[in-house]
Amino acid sequence: MLKKGCMGRLNKKVVEHKSYQVKDPIVRYNDITKKFGDTVVLNNLNLEVGRGEKLSIIGASGSGKTTIIRMLMTLEKPTSGTIWVDGDYLWHKEVGGKLVPADEKHMRNVRGKIGMVFQQFNLFPHMTILRNVTEAPIRVQGLSREEAEERAVTMLEKVGLAEKVDQYPSQLSGGQQQRVAIARALVMQPKVMLFDEVTSALDPELVGEVLEVIKDLAREGDMTMILITHEMDFARDISDRIVFLDEGRILEQGSPDKILENPDSPRIRQFLSRFIGNSSVSGLATTK
């Protein structure tokens, strides 16, 4: 929230140049193109995300939003271009000044800096809540069971589910499952957290509890967050910057106020107008 003003000032320059200068980038997409067969999903994308920045990506379905973060999680391989994360290339390795495709070991190293929460929660159904959260710290980071459980309980308390440790995912509501999924990602202490439409699969009455958890997380500050969302109120609340994606390109980016209330592009106005009436767009209603 504090950064909003400063981002707002930057904003004018941004719209003019279409590229956005970030002071201390932690993620950089350089000329990223992604094709599925003949379909171009992302077209020469250049995007930088600042350390600690809260970035929301909005746009119509099929605009390539999800692909952006799936590539960062190494779930999707870019067709061309490079992605750089906190000092290292993600899909490439520098050997003698040249970039070569990265091996699994290198990718695991870089991947460790990133965490992700999925639309469908994707908890492990055969494990208790506690094991869902402790399994990766123990197996991947080599923590002792005691350490891992201590960390896990702290995280589960943070998302308000410490009393559910012994239950199985199927015994929890969707909102609770998603909060566990957030704890499961957080416990790995990633530098960058990705949220892929994390409330889209939830019943409307369960959306709030999940968004509250993410808002708290955003307020704490340090963590870089990239969110894909259709919750415009929420995006306005927590974002330092909003990127509007259209047909695989960044159409416009800037402060939430700028993009949600006064976008330059008629395409964005048209997109936002669909949210009128369900109070999801605060710029067009009076909610805050």
Partner 1 sequence: MDWNNMCQTFNDKDNVWSWQYTCEIFPDLLDAMWVTISATFVAYFVALILGLFLTLGRRSPIRPVKWFFQGFLEFVRGTPPLVQLFFIYFGFPEIPYIGFEMSAFTAGVLGLGIHYSTYVSEIYRSGIEAVPKSQWEASKALNFSKGQTWLRIVLPQAIPPVIPMLGNYLITMFKETPLLAAITLMEMLNMAKFIGAKYFDYLEPFTIVGFLFLLLSYPSAILVSKLEKRMNRRFRQKNA
Task: Single out the segment in contact with partner 1 by CB under 8 A; choices: 38-46, 68-76, 245-253, 257-265.
Answer: 68-76
Kindly tell me which residue out of 41, 155, 156, 188 binds partner 1, with binding defined by CB under 8 A. Answer: 188
First to last CA, the chain: 13
Q: Would you count residue 111 as binding partner 1 (CB under 8 A)?
A: yes
Cβ neighbours of residue 84 closer than 8 Å, sequence gap 6 or more: 25, 27, 28, 30, 90
Q: Draw the binding track, 131-150, toward partner 1 (x: CB under 8 A; -: no contact).
A: ----xx--xx----------
Cβ proximity to partner 1, 154 vs 262, nearer residue:
154
Task: Single out the segment in contact with partner 1 by CB under 8 A; choices: 53-61, 109-117, 223-231, 245-253.
Answer: 109-117
Kindly tell me which residue out of 184, 236, 241, 258 binds partner 1, with binding defined by CB under 8 A. Answer: 184
Q: Would you count residue 125 as binding partner 1 (CB under 8 A)?
A: yes
> Within positions 18 to 57, which residues make up the interface with partner 1, using CB under 8 A?
none
Residue appearing with tokens 């939003």: 65
Q: Would you count residue 104 as binding partner 1 (CB under 8 A)?
A: yes
Least distance to partner 1 from the beta carbon of 84, Å?
A: 19
The answer to whether 195 and 229 are in contact (CB under 8 A) is yes
Q: How far is CA 238 from CA 152, 180, 209, 235, in A?
A: 25, 21, 15, 6
Q: How far is CA 77 from CA 34, 69, 81, 127, in A?
A: 8, 11, 10, 30
Cβ proximity to partner 1, 195 vs 275, nearer residue:
195
Q: Would you count residue 285 as binding partner 1 (CB under 8 A)?
A: no
* Helix ranges restricted to H, the chain: 4-17, 65-72, 104-111, 129-139, 145-158, 174-186, 204-220, 232-238, 256-261, 266-273
Tokens representing residue 111 in the block: 């991947």
The phi, psi pair for 24, rounded to 5°, reads -125, 85
75 by DSSP, 3-state: which? Answer: coil
Q: Would you count residue 175 as binding partner 1 (CB under 8 A)?
A: no
Residues of this chain that bind partner 1 (CB under 8 A):
73-75, 104, 108, 111-112, 114-116, 118, 120, 122-126, 135-136, 139-140, 168, 170, 184-185, 188
